[in-house]
Amino acid sequence: MASTITLDETSPAADDVAEPFIPGNREILGLEMQVETPENVVLSYQLAGPSQRYVAYLIDFLIRTMMLVAIFMFFIAPLMELLMPGAMLGLFLVIMFLNTWGYYTISETFFKGKSIGKHACGLRVIREGGYPITFWPSLLRNLARSADSIIFYGVGITSMLMTRRFQRLGDLLAGTVVVQERSLELPRKPIILNKIKPLDKNEIGSFLPRDEVLSLIDEFIGRRHVLTYERGHALAAQLAKRLAKRLHYSGDEKKVSQYPMAFLASVYKTFSFSQDQEEQELVDEYNKRSEMPGEETYE
């Protein structure tokens, strides 16, 4: 899922936004769908057209057919001589129900809105508000699949062509849309480590941040220019306070509360290269001792 963050006009990255989204504007018919969240973040999605969705359906149909054949050969066939015809018919209908509706509902609920066919085509089901799909909306949209599939999915395709967001009847009923997944690489600015001072070892305890935490700091500071100053400061302050507490930091409190991003950069420099520095110190110490006069070396 790709998303675009609405930036403040004073942000350096604001110039990269060609047409900012203005709430209340009339939506234009097209493949783009924009949703504004309560946090004033605008999410931009590219809708999936009927042809893409039909290809995904054919892939899923092939997989479901193979599953039915396997179930019939290894499960139903051995029971045909043990069960009465009526029981066999009932069992077959239950399996058909699970194969048709259960396959999509389970896939979309537990695999982030994707079935195997949707994954192969780069598609995903989400809620109209941009939220991930959950069990009940997925069950509702797939229960309506029987109506959409009339005349070889002619009803569903007609509904998609007549709606603004290419929604079939099940989507309209459950409030869902199918979108294309797009990868978005945010611009980065490197951390200039030679201008950052590491933390004083006398002001911190023995706690060592995990590599995941250091990677998070690296990613956050590298994309600091994308956020406004207020938003970046608020996000950095949360992590800085927690790290200062875990590190038992006894230095200047203002560095944590007033300059949290600088504190995070100091933490990154302190611990990301600490092991290399210790190894280099051991090498230097060994070389120093080996050069001292009066010491003998043994082979």
pLDDT digit of tens for each residue in the chain (299 aa)?
Answer: 444 444 444 444 434 433 444 444 444 446 888 887 664 556 788 999 999 999 999 999 999 999 988 888 887 777 776 777 777 777 888 888 888 889 999 999 999 899 999 999 999 999 998 889 999 999 999 999 989 989 888 899 999 999 999 999 999 999 999 999 876 555 556 656 667 888 888 888 888 888 878 888 887 777 776 777 787 788 888 888 988 888 989 888 888 888 888 888 888 888 876 545 544 555 555 556 655 555 444 34
Determine the pLDDT at residue 4.
42
Whether this model's pTM surpasses 0.85 = no
Q: Where are the beta strands (DSSP E) in the chain?
A: 32-36, 42-47, 123-127, 176-180
Distance, in Å, from the CA atom of 57 to the CA atom of 145, rounded to the nearest integer, reads 12
Determine the pLDDT at residue 110.
93
Distance, in Å, from the CA atom of 251 to the CA atom of 244, rounded to the nearest integer, reads 9
Q: Residue 255's CB: how many other CB atoms inside 10 A?
A: 16
Give the Å distances, CA to CA, from 55 to 29, 88, 144. 23, 33, 19
Task: Burial-class residue 127 by CB neighbours within 10 Å (0-12, 13-18, 19+).
Answer: middle
Determine the pLDDT at residue 236.
85
Distance, in Å, from the CA atom of 105 to the CA atom of 95, rounded to the nearest integer, reads 14
* DSSP category for residue 206: S
Residue 146 near residue 91, CB atoms below 8 Å:
no
